[in-house]
Each structure stands twice: as structure tokens, then as C-alpha cells.
A and B are shown apart, each in its own frame.
Chain A
Amino acid sequence: MAAIFQGVGAAATLSSSPSNSFVPKKFLTSPRRSFCVPSSVVVRSDGSVNFDLNSKSRRAQQLVANATKADSSAASSSSNPGHELLLFEALREGLEEEMERDPCVCVMGEDVGHYGGSYKVTKDLAKKFGDLRVLDTPIAENSFTGMGIGAAMTGLRPVVEGMNMGFLLLAFNQISNNCGMLHYTSGGQFTIPIVIRGPGGVGRQLGAEHSQRLESYFQSIPGIQMVACSTPYNAKGLMKAAIRSENPVILFEHVLLYNLKERIPDEDYICNLEEAEMVRPGEHVTILTYSRMRYHVMQAAKTLVNKGYDPEVIDIRSLKPFDLYTIGNSVKKTHRVLIVEECMRTGGIGASLTAAITENFNDYLDAPIMCLSSQDVPTPYAGTLEEWTVVQPAQIVTAVEQLCQ
């Protein structure tokens, strides 16, 4: 488990102004960076600790090696016990903290303001920050995503919410051509510090058009980063990191994970956008997964452990780019890889990951990589059919058994 903690140093200076009457001036570029001086502590998966020697902050760092797993009680250290909340609340907390910290952060989306968000991620934020910072848009994804990107070009940090990720297909041109490419085609003149987020994935009988996994469509766009959250801890951490990043980040949430409960630390923390999470170390097989499938994998892991296997489970979290360092180390240890994803078989994240691992770590593999994905069908409405569309724990168990023969 690797977590990165950042000093909260100068953040206090911004939060002193009342949020509703804030008048952000055009200081958007460099002065803002001086607030967020990286006084970073990197805790690696092997437990070693590095201090960033460029740290300018004089504050003492709270170093908490927090081995948080969503399916077991947090093994918190001697300091703050933390507080318990649901995943959507963790997202909201992250968003709220960032909005307090930086006046340039604003939220745009359908029903995010007065309604409070269709999944309550932005509940009460409009009351707190006002209509100019939490903006209700009409149902016009193409244009409001474009507007978010245009605003980001000037230095604002919009968080654009797609009510369902699938709706962002309407904004594909803006996301691909403008969001991803403007930094490059302008020769580095503009950065696009936008966050595009929303729930996706297969839910409970939501129908084909509302059960899409857009990570497979977006993964080729150069210039964007994609992350998928799966626990309240990493949801908050990734949300904050995504907002602070100078690059456009697409944060994939899952419709079925919003009510997960976990105890998270009280202090300020962010999660590295490019790093994978070690969920369960093991020896026999590397299981790579993300988002909702993590829970199916962990369920299967229980069965597997009973059967005598020792799977290593990694939540890849970063869908673009892949954390090949963590993944590579795992492959070198176990020599067998199983990928469990919710994307469809064709052209999904699993397909890319299979290619990446094969290219880079072919010599370390004792068996061909297995990839379990959803079926290449529109997600049916009928409950039983929907169940068969996605990967179930029993299939994961069978796959591991096959792999470890």
C-alpha cells in the first residue's frame, strides 16, 4: 500500500476568505503553485519512505503508513483514528476541501447545484460556494464540456460531471481533440487542468445505454490521464490529486460503489495518480483489476485462500498510464497474471494491459496472460442476463485454478 501525504501548509491562507464572496483575480497561474509547495512524503509499497528533499515546508509531516483495505478494518497507526464515511461522501469531502483550498476550482454538470448531484457527490456545495462555483448546466454535454475546457485553458480548474459516464460520448470530440491535445498542439502554451468525472460501469439493470464503460474508448487519447477509484480512501485521494494535477484527468467512478463505507484519515492526503494499489500481497498469481471488479476479485480470493492459493491482488487504479512498475514487480514474483475487468473483451483496458505486460515482461511469464472481461454485448436489462455479462467471482476462481495448474 503506497500513500502519499502532502503538507497542508499554505492551504490555510486561502480558506480564510468567505467562499461566497470570493473574488478570484487573475493570479491563476504561478502564485497558485506556490501555495501547494510539494512537501511530499512518499510511502512505497515495500514500506520504505522517501522525503522529498525539495520540501520547503517547515511543518512537521504526519507520517502514517496506512494499510487501508476496504474489506477489512483499517489498520490505522497510533495517530488519528479517522472518520467513517461512504464513498460518495468521500468524493464530496475531497471536492469540498479542494474548493476551499483553491478558489479556481468550480464544478459544472447537470443537477450538481441546487439538486445536489444525482449521486449526492455535490450535495450542499452550491449552498456553500454559490452558483458561480457550482454550476447547473442544461443537458448539453458537448458544449459544457467544451466550456469547461475553455475555462481550464485560462487557468480555472473546473470539475465537469457527467451524470453518467455514457453521456460523455456526446462530448467525445471536446475531450479528445481539445482536452487531450491542446497542451501539445499549442507547443506547451496551455495546460488543461480539468477533471472530468462521473459514474459508469454496469449497475443494477440500468439498461444498455446507462451501463457503459468509457475507459476503453478514452484510453487512446493522448494527453489525458485516467484513474478509477474503488474505495472511499482512494476516491478522496484521487479526486484531490486529479484536481491538483495540471493535466486533464478523467476520474471513473462506479454506480454500485457509492455506498461503500470505510474509515479514512482525518488529515489531508492525496493519492498518486499514476500508482497502483496493492490490495493483497501474495505469491501464486497476480490478479490485476480495478473499480467494482476489485470486490468480485476479493470475494473470489477468499474462496481461493480456502483452497490453498495465495493470490496477489492489485487494484491498478491508474488506467492511463499503467503502473508498470508495481505490476512488473508482481509479475516477476508470481509469474502468472490474471486480469479481471468490467470492460468488454474487445479493445478494453484488459486488452491494452495484456499487450503491455506481454511486451515488457514476457520472459517472466510461466503461462499466457488470462483476461476476464465482460461479454461483447450491450448490457441487457434482464437481471440474469446482466449477471452473465459481467465477470462473477466463481469465474475468477476457475480462472485462477486453470492458470495455476
Chain B
Amino acid sequence: MALSHLASSSPSRSANLLKPLSSVISLRRPISTDTTPITVETSVPFTAHQCEAPSRTVQTNAKELATFFRDMVVMRRMEIAADSLYKAKLIRGFCHLYDGQEAVAVGMEAALTKKDCIITSYRDHCTFVARGGTLLEVFAELMGRQAGCSKGKGGSMHFYKKDSNFYGGHGIVGAQVPLGCGLAFAQKYCKDEAVTFALYGDGAANQGQLFEALNISALWDLPAILVCENNHYGMGTAEWRAAKSPAYYKRGDYAPGLKVDGMDALAVKQACAFAKEHALKNGPIILEMDTYRYHGHSMSDPGSTYRTRDEITGVRQERDPIERIRKLILSHDLSTDKELKDIEKEVRKEVDDAIAQAKENPVPEPSELFSDVYAKGLGVESFGADRKEKNSHGRHLDNTRDDPSGEVIIGLCFHNPLPA
């Protein structure tokens, strides 16, 4: 990390002699390892429903703030790069960008372990990265290449990372919430002592299956946390036009809820830690993250027909999550403006490198069309479900079989040769 070069990277040593002592770089501990506790107050207090709100005072340290900053810069840069790639037609189909909402992903990750599960909707690039996904996996998947996290077969809306318990990545609005409650059920069944965060948007908050799943979760006491990432617009419809009651944290009724400033990573972290503790003891809880997306709903939405540009720039000036952390770092004298800018440059290069690598990556092989449709199980199949792969006895299923008459059995529905 660039910040670790603090002691030696100072360009003009002689000039330092003229600066106040506190700004001489070599006297400050490297921010990347400094874990001295720092106490910060969240921007706004939490609003609670049916529970007691956690305190506004958050414990953090320089290392954590540096991580927040860097991770959010990576995410921001990644999303903007994806925007350019989409316009260059390297990314096709749907592309839903998360810039502006980074604090939710980063703050949540800080409060959880990899044993906890996260499941979200189609606006999943940054959550995937927060869970440990690499930039190459992101860009390769967006461009439909082999190195993508889903081997290029999922696309923007289907990022998954099983080994860090990130369950995607779902295209149908709201469908991930019952899945998330199922994950929580499995955690309870296996006595994992972990929780599931099921994320959805203000648009999805009006889906019936959400209330169904919440009901079942509350009945069965599941460690499920439903997180509404309220960016105030469900596609092109403002929340007040879609929801009779836009107080999403209250709509759980019997389930407690908390409203959080989603642009403040520390507030998000505090709320998620609180929710995790609550859910493990008392069952489901709803978190409403008050956040904002700078881009439109997707790349095909300019994002300015249903809201004013002034609103967007206003939020960017006053509530931008990266700027907030930057101000925090600078005001606590944990780093200098130049260092932070260096990080941004470094991140930009990292992102560009990943894109270049992803562009070189090959597209999936034609045989990948048929792989992973069915999993092989039991070991006793005669021909296998999809007949495009070898069965457990090593015979090809698509056109030959040990047949006493020696004739060839053609597969189920493919007569055209595979695309060359």
C-alpha cells in the first residue's frame, strides 16, 4: 500500500523543515497498520422501530479508515470504468452501477465475518468485491470471459462467491429475499452462529414475497437481517410514488427496524454489528440504509428524467461516502491529501490493469454452453440428465452408446453441430 511508504516517499526533505512538526511525514505511524482507537460520531443518529437504537459513537482506527477509503475508491473507480466499457460495447445487456452506495458494502463487510452470508440483487459488483472478489473476476464476467466469477455465463447480475458466502447476484427484483431467509434457515439448522444479510432495494420493498419471507423468518426465529438499500428510486419511480409508507424500516411491523445513514460507512458498520447481535438472539430485523446512486438505474437509464441534476450534484457534494472518509482521515491527521491522491492513482492503475487483463481473456469454449446445467450426482445414472457430458462410466452421451445393435442413438434435441 502506498501509505506504507510514508517514511521514505517524501519528495523534498528540505522543505519539511519549514513545516509544523505534526506534518512531517516521517514522524507519523503508517496509517495502514495503526490500530489506535479513534472515536467518531455518526453524521445523524439512528432511528429505531421496536428496538433501542445503538449509540451514535463508533469505534474505529486509522487502519480501518484507510481500508474503507481504499476499498471505496476501488469500487468507485471500478463502476466508472464499467460505465466506459459499457459505452464502448464491451459490456452488453444490463449493467447496474453502485457508485454512491459504496459505504453500504464497505461498512457491512467491516461488521461481518466470512461465515456470515450476504445475498443481494443485481446491483452486486461492489458487494462482490467487498466479499473478496477480484477486479479481474469482475471485469471478465462483465465482458463475458472465462476468467469471470461465473465463467462468463452469468453476467453483471449474477456474481457469486461461494467460498466467502456471497450468494449473488439476482436479476428478479425481490426474489433474493426468500433465498436469503433460506440461507438463514440453513445457518440455524446447522447451528452456525452466523447471520444472513439479505439486501434489496426500495423498489423491491413492495414485493409480497418479502413479507412472506419475513413472516416465516420471524416465526422460526431465523438469523436473517433484511437490509433495504433505499436509494429513493425504484428504477424510474420515486419512493413516494411507489410506497404508501416509505418508512421501510417500519414496514416489518412486528419485526424491529433501524434507519441508518447509508452514506456513512461507520454508521453502516455500527448498525450491521448491532443487527447481527440482535438477529442471533431475537430473530429478524430490518435495516434501512438511506443511500443514493449517482448513475441511473442501469446503463440504459440516464438517471436524469426523474430527478434533477442539482439533486445528484447536491448529494455528491454533501454526502459522498468517499469524501466523508477522506475528510475524517485528513481531520484526524492520519494521512495527507497527497497520499490519498496517490492511492487513487494507484487504484486507477490497478483497475486499468485488470481491464486490460480481462480484455485479453478468452471467451468461454463452446462446450461450456452445456456444462453446469446439471450437476453430476448419485453416480448411477444411465445416461445423465443433459446427455452432453460423459456419464460416470466414461461414455460419451451425446451420440454413442454401448448398444448391442451397434447403432447410434442421437441425443435429445441437438442436431446442429456445436458452434465452431
Chain A interface (Cβ < 8 Å from any Cβ of B):
2, 4, 6, 23-26, 28, 36, 38, 40, 42, 46, 52, 54, 106, 132, 135, 137-138, 140, 142-156, 173-174, 177-178, 182-191, 193, 222-223, 225, 241, 244-247, 270, 272-275, 321-325, 328, 356, 359-360
Contacts and interface: CB of A to CB of B under 8 A. Distances in A.
Interface of B: 117, 119, 148-155, 158, 160-162, 167-172, 175, 177-183, 185-192, 208-209, 212-213, 215-216, 219-220, 371-387, 392-393, 401, 404, 409-413, 415
A147 B179 contact: yes
Contact of A135 (B178, B220, B386): B220
A187 B149 contact: yes
B150 A132 contact: no
A28 B190 contact: yes
11 contacts: A38-B380, A140-B212, A142-B178, A146-B177, A147-B185, A182-B168, A184-B153, A187-B154, A323-B383, A325-B401, A328-B409
A225 B172 contact: no
A272 B382 contact: yes
B161 to A, nearest CB: 8
A187 B179 contact: no
B300 to A, nearest CB: 21
Kindly name the residue among A36, A38, A190, A274 whose own CB sees the greatest number of chain B CB atoms within 10 A.
A274
Contacts, number: 222
A222 B160 contact: no
Given A138-B215, A142-B208, A186-B154, A23 B413 contact: no
A186 B179 contact: no
B409 A184 contact: no
Contact of B181 (A26, A143, A183, A272): A143
Contacts of A186: 150, 154, 158, 160, 162, 168-169
A146 B175 contact: yes
B382 A189 contact: no
A386 to B, nearest CB: 33
Contact of A245 (B377, B386, B392, B410): B377
A138 B219 contact: yes
Contacts of A154: 117, 183, 186-187, 190
A102 B167 CA distance: 24
Contacts of B379: 38, 40, 52, 54
A24 B190 contact: yes
A155 B186 contact: yes
Nearest to B119: A150
Given A183-B374, A187-B372, A273-B381, A149 B148 contact: no
A272 B151 contact: no
B206 to A, nearest CB: 14
B413 A359 contact: yes
Given A138-B216, A143-B209, A274-B384, A183 B179 contact: no
A183 B377 contact: no
A268 B169 CA distance: 40
Given A135-B220, A142-B208, A241-B378, A150 B385 contact: no
B178 A150 contact: yes
A21 to B, nearest CB: 12
B172 A177 contact: yes
A178 B191 CA distance: 25
A193 B213 contact: no
A151 B186 contact: yes
A275 B378 CA distance: 14
Given A140-B215, A153-B182, A154-B183, A321 B378 contact: no
Contact of B385 (A38, A143, A152, A274): A274
Contacts of B219: 138
A241 B377 CA distance: 10
A52 B380 contact: yes
Contacts of B385: 225, 247, 273-274, 321
A189 B160 contact: yes
A156 B158 contact: no
Nearest to A23: B191
Contact of B372 (A28, A142, A183, A225): A183
A183 to B, nearest CB: 6
Contacts of A155: 186
B377 A150 contact: no
Contacts of B191: 23-25
Given A52-B379, A241-B378, A144 B372 contact: no
B153 A140 contact: no
Contacts of A6: 380
A148 B382 CA distance: 28
Contact of B377 (A28, A184, A244, A324): A244
A182 B158 CA distance: 9
A328 B180 CA distance: 44
A224 to B, nearest CB: 9
Contacts of B177: 143, 146
Contacts of A189: 150, 160-162
Contact of A187 (B153, B374, B410): B153
B178 A143 contact: yes
Nearest to A153: B167
A325 B382 contact: yes
A111 to B, nearest CB: 15
Contact of A156 (B171, B189, B410): B189
Contacts of A106: 189
Contacts of B384: 274
Kindly name the residue among A132, A155, A184, A325 whose own CB sees the greatest number of chain B CB atoms within 10 A.
A184
B151 to A, nearest CB: 4
A147 B377 CA distance: 22
Contacts of A328: 409
Given A147-B185, A186-B168, A360 B377 contact: no
Contacts of A40: 379-380
B383 A185 contact: no
Nearest to B192: A26
Contacts of B117: 154
A360 B412 CA distance: 8
Which A-B residue pairs are the 4 nearest by beta carbons?
A150-B182, A146-B178, A246-B377, A38-B379
Given A187-B372, A223-B374, A247-B385, A151 B185 contact: yes
B183 A144 contact: no
Given A40-B380, A52-B380, A138-B212, 11 more contacts: A36-B378, A38-B378, A148-B182, A150-B167, A150-B186, A156-B189, A177-B172, A182-B168, A187-B153, A246-B377, A274-B382
B392 A54 contact: yes
A159 to B, nearest CB: 14
Contacts of B212: 138, 140, 142-144
B355 to A, nearest CB: 20
Nearest to A193: B377
